[in-house]
Every structure is written in structure tokens, then in C-alpha cells.
Structure 1
Amino acid sequence: MVRLLMHAKATYFDTRVGRIAVHDTLVDRPPLLMLHGLGSDGLVFQRQFASPLADHFRLIAFDLPGHGQSDDCEDVDQAYTLPALAELTAAVLEASGIKRVAVFGWSIGGHIAIELMSRHPEMLSGVMISGAAPIGRGPVAALKGFQAHWDMLLASKAVYTSKDAERFARLCFKDGATPDDVAAVLRADGAMRTRVNRSLMRGEGANQKTVVQTSPIPLAVVNGSDEPVVRLRYLAGLQYRNLWEGMCHILPDAGHAPFRNRPYAFNTLLHRFAAEVAIHERATPPVELHRRA
């Protein structure tokens, strides 16, 4: 049985990396794309699709390759790197008839969104990230942005046991992890975890720290107070060019997935951000933005 997001229709696009499952409310409203993290799928955003956000925006989420209902990819270098995932995202938006969009990216989805800021700024009206540290290149930069503990090693482990999947789900969702979350982790292609983490740590694609320091695209940074993956002090210390409301937002009693742990508070912030960038889009014609190398 195929599970569906509330208000959304499931469609499938054939891409150069395989079939991609897209969940789309298909309404004539400002588009808002949500990008999930490793070991999850578009269904993780059920509490956003089932909220009043669906009354004001066209909500879209797709299953990354190797996740959910999307295909696994044998050529990992063609599908499972940050540049490849950013290009895939742009292709999904184009196939969906969307020219400009606000994006919320969670965890690796946040890193994909930052890569999009570099590669396709003309497609973005604004970006919100959670559980993602915009780091520079190299292992020292990664140590500055990410916390170090044993469960973090699961993010790049190729083969999971059932206990591994349960631990990873708890890392992501705290005590709110469900059997469906564990099943999604077990379904995910382990080659994706290994390759995309290598892509991030090697600095393939854009220097993400430089992107947030120089991009004019509005960027919102929202995290839980109990974030177990990203160093919140690192995020607060970065120099952003266009940080929304001039601050990194922290939701109390939330962890790596604040949109799940504190959905009402998170959805309120996401609604305000997406509405503001949509109003700005209507009031000010978008300027021509040049892609960064």
C-alpha cells in the first residue's frame, strides 16, 4: 500500500538518475518545496502538509533517490553527490512547472538547498534550513560545524541492522521516532548515505560557508535547542549576508527535526518566512542572479 501525504497527489518523473516520486498539492498558490534528510522521505513532512500551510502554499516534497518510492541509483557518482542532488532538484522543479520557489531543507536537504543557492539562485525566492551546518571545505571545517559522537557515524554507514535504524531514527526524531520512521531508514539505499556524506566532507560543489556569507537570497536558520548533530554556536557565529530577521531561531525542547518535535511553532515560522518572501516576489521583480562557480 502506497502511503500519501495529506492534500498531496503522488506523481512520478523519469530523470537521468531514475524514477523520482513527487508529492504535490497542485494548487495555484506560491510554491514551497521541502527537502528531507537521509533515511527519510517526503512523508516526513506530514505535519506540514496537514497544517494550514496547505491553505496558503503549493506544498511539494519529493523522495530523494535511494529513498521512499524513488529509485535507487547504481552510478553513485552521478546521483548521490550534493551537486547531482541539487541538479536533480532543479530538474524536478522544472518538470513541475515551477520557475521560482521557497525551499525548506532539513539535514542533508538543507545542504542541497545551499548548493541550489550557488548553482540555481534564479530559482529561489528564499531558503530555510534546519539541522544543516554551512561548512567550508575539509575535515577541520566539518569538525567546527558538526558535533562529534558515536551515533553520528551512522550517517555514513552503508549497511544497517534493525538496531542501527532505531538509533538513527532516535537521533533524528528524539522520542518521537515511529515504526514508519525506522522502516524509512531501513528502506534507504546505504550507498546514498556513504556517497553523499563523502561529498559533503570533501567539499564537492560549493563552499557552503561562503555561499551563506555572500548570497543575497534570504536565508532562515531554524533549529531545536537540543540539536544533536549541528553545533548551534557555530551557526550563531557565522557572518550571513541576508539572515532572516537577523538571527538564528531556536525552538525549545526540539532536536534535529524541529518541524516534527514542535510542529506548531515551526510551521508558524515557516509560514511567516514563506509569506514574506512571496510578498517580496510580488512587490519587487526578481533581479538577474548569476550562478556561482
Structure 2
Amino acid sequence: MSDLKHIDTSHARLAYRETDGPGQPLLMVHGNSTSHQVFRNQLDGAIGAAYRCVAFDLPGHGASDDACDPDTTYNVQGYAAAAVELMQALRIDRYAVLGWSLGGHIALDMMAQTRALAGVMITGSPPITQGKGAVSEGFAGDIEHSIASKQILTGEEIEAFAHNTCGPNAPYASFLKEAVTRCDGRARSLMIAKLACGVGPNQQELALNAPVPLAIVNGSEDAFIHNDFIARLPYRNLWDKKVHDLPGIGHAPFWEAPETFDAYLSRFLNDIT
């Protein structure tokens, strides 16, 4: 894997890695309480060799600093603004985004913040609307009162989060626990609270009216989302004209089954280039 670099933004000092691939630039955005290392199979594999991949740690996560102003940054819109600022600082004028879980919601919001996007792929990120019941329509379980939203986690909760977030059949690596342990707990509690309250642009409207090609590639066995809900929405700019549900795979298909997932990612990047 390439060396870890840092860059200062108005939100936090961000840690990131990038590859030397000559193709379409790709920003990779991780999920709640994880880090850029979940994309290591892509960074170190054929995707990183073919495309210029940039994978960073969100403020309050991984090797990035905690947010300068948690209330401003620890929400989908704040994270999206930090991501846009990162790519501007790197002088990358046109790029695609791959967003996983929270990262997918960030990717959707980036469509409202910048015209630099060439395309967006999301995975494990139900495009929810706003208002009462919106979160439960897209997400399975009560995420507003789950460990995903708690500021302070016990040792057992950290273990559970680390082992379950990618899916029960996904490989486990020590960095998953390290990432949950390191995460600024305010990042969880503030983000979920604001998502549940509908703060910011309507995520569903952003997805349905995407100004660039939107690819959706989920695991069919993702325990955290309602696949049927995601598949039946009337998207206007959906890549392949369908939502892809990968059989037998959980919440993080790029981590659990990288060879399967990367075939979709590569084809998408080629199509939008």
C-alpha cells in the first residue's frame, strides 16, 4: 500500500493514500467508525493499478484528526464538504466517488456540493427521504438507538461493531477493531442524530435525480439495509438501469468479495470515462 499522507482542510487534518494508476480518478469514502483501510484490496490490487484512487480517513476517524468543529463536520454534509475540499487541495478536477455505508450518503451529498463528479457508486447506503420513519424505511433495525449511534462504547460493543460491520461472513482484520476504538464517539452520535432528523438535502431526491451516472451495488445479504426498498425507487440516471444485488454477500461486498465487486467497479469507471 502507498505511503500515508496528510493534508490540512478547514474541517480537520486528513490522512489519505493514493495510487499511481493512470485511469479515471476515484475517491473512496468509508463508513461509520472504520477507516480507508477497508479499501486496501482495491488500493493494492488491479483497481489501484488501473485508476488513480484516493482513499482518506473521515474527520474523527483513522489517522485523520478529530473535527475542528464537531457540530459542523460530524454529519453527512460536513463530511461531504471535507471530501470536496480534499480533492480540490489535490487539484483533481474531475473524479468518480465510491461510497460505502455512511460513505455512500456522503457521496450522494457531494452531488449537491460540486460539479466535479464524473459518477457515483454507492454500496450499503439506502437513499432515504426526510421526515418521521424515513430512516427505518431504508435501514433494518433501530440504528438511532444502536451502537452505531453511541458516543461511548464498551469493550464488548467495540468488538461487536468491529466483527459485524462488514457482514458475518466477511474477513476480519485487526484494523477494524482499531478503527472503532479510535473513532471520535461524537462522530457517531452527531451523524446519526442529524441523519435521523433530516438535516441537509434530501438524500432520496439526490439519488433519484442524480446529475451523473449513479451505480448501486449491494450485497443481497446485507443485514443493515432494506434491499427491496432500494431496488424499487425510480432512479432517472441509474447505471445499467438496475440495482445490483450480489448473491450471498453482506454489508461490504468490496471487502468480502473483492474480485466480484471490482468487476462492477471497473466496468463502471470505464463506462463513465
Q: TM over 0.5: same fold?
A: yes
Match of 2:49 in 1: 55
Deviations 1:10-29 (A, max 9, x none): 21111122211011114543
Q: Tell me, what secondary structure is at the counterpart of 1:126?
A: strand
**Which moves more between the two structures, 25-34 or 246-255?**
25-34
Q: Tell me, what secondary structure is at the counterpart of 2:222?
A: coil
Identity %: 38
Q: Tell me, what secondary structure is at the counterpart of 1:30?
A: strand
The aligned amino acid for 1:130 is: T
Which one of the candidate residues 71, 75, 82 is aligned to 1:81? 75
Whether the aligned pair in 2 keeps the contact of 1:105 and 1:130 (CA below 8 Å) is: yes
Match of 2:243 in 1: 248
List structure 1 segments (4+ residues) > 6 angstroms apart after TM superposition. none
Whether the aligned pair in 2 keeps the contact of 1:216 and 1:241 (CA below 8 Å) is: no
- Where do 5+ consecutive residues of structure 2 fail to align? none
Q: Tell me, what secondary structure is at the counterpart of 2:58?
A: coil
Quote the RMSD (CA, aligned, Å).
1.6
Change (3 A) 1:141 1:268: same
Q: Tell me, what secondary structure is at the counterpart of 1:39?
A: coil
- Shift in Å at residue 217 of structure 1? 1.0
What is the CA–CA distance in structure 2 between the aligned matches of 1:271 and 1:185, rounded to whole Å?
Answer: 29
Q: Tell me, what secondary structure is at the counterpart of 2:146?
A: helix
Deviations 1:170-212 (A, max 9, x none): 3212242222211111111110001111121111111011111
What is the CA–CA distance in structure 2 between the aligned matches of 1:149 and 1:88, rounded to whole Å?
Answer: 28
Match of 2:5 in 1: 11
- Where do 5+ consecutive residues of structure 1 fail to align? 1-5, 279-293
Deviations 1:121-157 (A, max 9, x none): x111000001101111123111111111589711101
Which one of the candidate residues 131, 141, 147 is aligned to 1:148? 141
The aligned amino acid for 2:57 is: D
Match of 1:68 in 2: 62
What is the CA–CA distance in structure 2 between the aligned matches of 1:249 and 1:180, rounded to whole Å?
Answer: 28
What is the CA–CA distance in structure 2 between the aligned matches of 1:224 and 1:207, rounded to whole Å?
Answer: 24
Match of 1:111 in 2: 105
Change (3 A) 1:9 1:28: farther
**Residue 180 (1) aligns with residue 180 (2):** no
The aligned amino acid for 1:94 is: Q
Which one of the candidate residues 150, 156, 170 is aligned to 1:163? 156
Q: Tell me, what secondary structure is at the counterpart of 1:217?
A: coil
TM-score w.r.t. the length of structure 2 is 0.95
Which one of the candidate residues 124, 129, 153 is aligned to 1:131? 124
The aligned amino acid for 1:78 is: T
TM-score w.r.t. the length of structure 1 is 0.89
Match of 2:38 in 1: 44
